[in-house]
A and B are shown apart, each in its own frame.
Chain A
């Protein structure tokens, strides 16, 4: 299957700072990328959908000013957690898809964010 690389895999940051997470599709063009968040012992919650070259669509309850998503190219989407707080500590995971695959989405390895 297609490969999606997410970086970094782990990051620790101080409260009030911003953290950028990258999601790259390595061998296909990702027309759409999705960002999920997973709290410990819980399921994955969809945060937002980003289409290349357009603004992201955020799910209800997700602050767009806090979680900035950029999908400037067909192989890269970034999620920036701005002014991070301890409650933002979570596992963030992206997935990427292309209309050619119709139903398939390929997941990155995830990023463990800890805000201290």
Chain B
């Protein structure tokens, strides 16, 4: 079953611009993770934020988590054409180690 919605479903921006993707979920979580997937390929783990954290940075990525609203956002700053991919949030619960429920994903296109 899907955990929730990702918004927007598709996003097209110019290189150098920032891209923001949002994710909402329904149940209590232990952590929330963001993944990237290039077309037809496997998943690349980007960042994990725990339920007691509010913000996390990794390079050009910034993730926020608001557990009261059951939502998260992924910000990619100074985007590059190579950032073109689908981005998924996935939630992990404390009851099942490693089990992830994925959001529907955002398809990002960065135009050179």
A residues adjacent to B (C-beta < 8 A) = 1, 31-32, 34, 36, 42-46, 49, 59-60, 91, 93, 95-99, 101-110, 112
Contacts and interface: CB of A to CB of B under 8 A. Distances in A.
Interface stretch (B41-49, B63-71, B73-81): B41-49
A93 B42 contact: yes
Contacts, number: 73
Nearest to A9: B42
B102 A43 contact: yes
18 contacts: A34-B99, A42-B104, A45-B1, A45-B2, A46-B101, A91-B40, A95-B98, A95-B100, A97-B97, A97-B98, A98-B97, A98-B98, A103-B31, A103-B50, A103-B97, A105-B98, A107-B42, A109-B42
Interface string B27-67: 00011000000001111010010100000000000000000
Interface residues of B, number: 24
A43 B2 contact: yes
Contact of B98 (A34, A108, A110): A34
B45 A1 contact: yes
Nearest to B35: A107
Contact of A34 (B48, B88, B100): B100
Contact of B43 (A59, A103, A104, A107): A107
A104 B100 CA distance: 10
A43 B1 CA distance: 10
B36 to A, nearest CB: 12
Interface in B94-112: 96-105
Contacts of B100: 34, 46, 95, 105
B42 A108 contact: yes
A87 to B, nearest CB: 19
B98 A96 contact: yes
Nearest to A111: B42
A54 to B, nearest CB: 14
